[in-house]
Amino acid sequence: MNNIDNIENKCLIETVGVDKSYTTKRETIHVLKDTDLKIFSGEILGIVGASGVGKSTLLHVLGGLDRPAKGDVLFKGQNIYYQGNSFLEKFRNIHIGFVFQFFNLLPDFTALENVMFPALIQKKQTFVAKERAQYLLNEVGMKDRMNHRPAELSGGESQRVALARGLMNQPDLLLADEPTGNLDANASDQLIDLIRKLNKEFNQTFVLVTHSQRIAGQLDRVLELINGKANPINQSLLI
């Protein structure tokens, strides 16, 4: 990973001519079509678009989870999909935090253990992982639910645990798929405040998929995914 880490580049990650389709027994759905997009270091980028347009697919492709059929995904200039699966595994663990649309928390483990996992995979000491997990759960307002398993959490609480887990390894890029989708207005505002704070303090880069115009209007830059392409949006029209 060292060669990646040493390259200074304002553009953190970009897709160049990315194509992605899904084929089922009945049809082929062409989701991303020659998609170009750049994400800059230290920005909070919003991605909006109609349901089914391909927002989650785009995040999966950016996060090294789903190989595109065509095109390149360049992280600090290096094509992540040219490497093998063990590179991709390391890339995800070290550089990417992912907040999945449907959380993907491990059901048999507590909120605290779920948040600790990414650090334990990196072989961090348990007490170090525990301390940071407790700090992050406190930051997302989950101090009193750390020992609950996912089935004992509400949707909004699960979402906040998933955000804490995504931030565990201080990733270069946090990809969050509708991280406020299950939160009320007050809890969403608190989450966006936390995202802003982490962005300011640690220059943390975020990509947030959202259906909320109110949230999108508060972000640094917004792209709308339409017909497989990411188009800039005039944010003054959103607020």
Ligand X SMILES: Nc1ncnc2c1ncn2[C@@H]1O[C@H](COP(=O)(O)OP(=O)(O)OP(=O)(O)O)[C@@H](O)[C@H]1O
Contact partner at residue 86 from Mg ion, ligand X, none, CB < 5 to 8 Å by partner kind: none
CA 213, chain centre distance (Å): 19
Under the criterion CB under 6 A, does residue 210 sit at the interface with ligand X?
no
Assigned token pair, 45: 């980028």
Cα–Cα distance for residue pair 219/227, rounded to 1 Å:
23
Residue whose CB is nearest to Mg ion in the complex, by number: 56
DSSP state of 33: E
Under the criterion CB under 6 A, does residue 213 sit at the interface with ligand X?
no
Burial of 220 (0-12, 13-18, 19+ CB in 10 A): middle
Scanning 7-15, 23-31, 167-175, 187-195 for contacts with ligand X by CB under 6 A, the matching segment is 23-31
Contact partner at residue 41 from Mg ion, ligand X, none, CB < 5 to 8 Å by partner kind: none
Element (H, E) at 14: strand 11-23
Under the criterion CB under 6 A, does residue 101 sit at the interface with ligand X?
yes
Under the criterion CB under 6 A, does residue 51 sit at the interface with ligand X?
yes
Under the criterion CB under 6 A, does residue 22 sit at the interface with ligand X?
yes
Cβ-based nearer residue to ligand X, 44 or 58? 58
CA 122, chain centre distance (Å): 19
Scanning 44-52, 116-124, 133-141, 227-235 for contacts with ligand X by CB under 6 A, the matching segment is 44-52
User: Within the chain, how many helices (H) and strands (E) appear?
Assistant: 8, 10
Under the criterion CB under 5 A, does residue 110 sit at the interface with Mg ion?
no
| Count of C-beta atoms within a 10 Å radius of residue 225 | 22
Q: Least Å distance between CB 12 and ligand X?
A: 22
Contact status, residue 83 vs residue 152, Cβ threshold 8 Å: no
Under the criterion CB under 6 A, does residue 31 sit at the interface with ligand X?
yes
C-alpha to C-alpha distances, 56 to 32, 95, 176, 236, nearest whole angstrom: 11, 18, 9, 25
Under the criterion CB under 5 A, does residue 180 sit at the interface with Mg ion?
no
Under the criterion CB under 6 A, does residue 52 sit at the interface with ligand X?
yes
CA 111, chain centre distance (Å): 19
Under the criterion CB under 6 A, does residue 76 sit at the interface with ligand X?
no
Contact status, residue 164 vs residue 115, Cβ threshold 8 Å: yes
Cα–Cα distance for residue pair 63/151, rounded to 1 Å:
27
Cβ-based nearer residue to Mg ion, 113 or 177? 177
Single out the residue of 15, 35, 56, 188 in contact with Mg ion (rule: CB under 5 A).
Answer: 56
Single out the residue of 35, 57, 110, 205 in contact with ligand X (rule: CB under 6 A).
Answer: 57
Q: Applying CB under 5 A, which residues contact Mg ion? A: 55-56, 101
Q: Applying CB under 6 A, which residues contact ligand X? A: 22, 24, 29, 31, 49, 51-57, 101
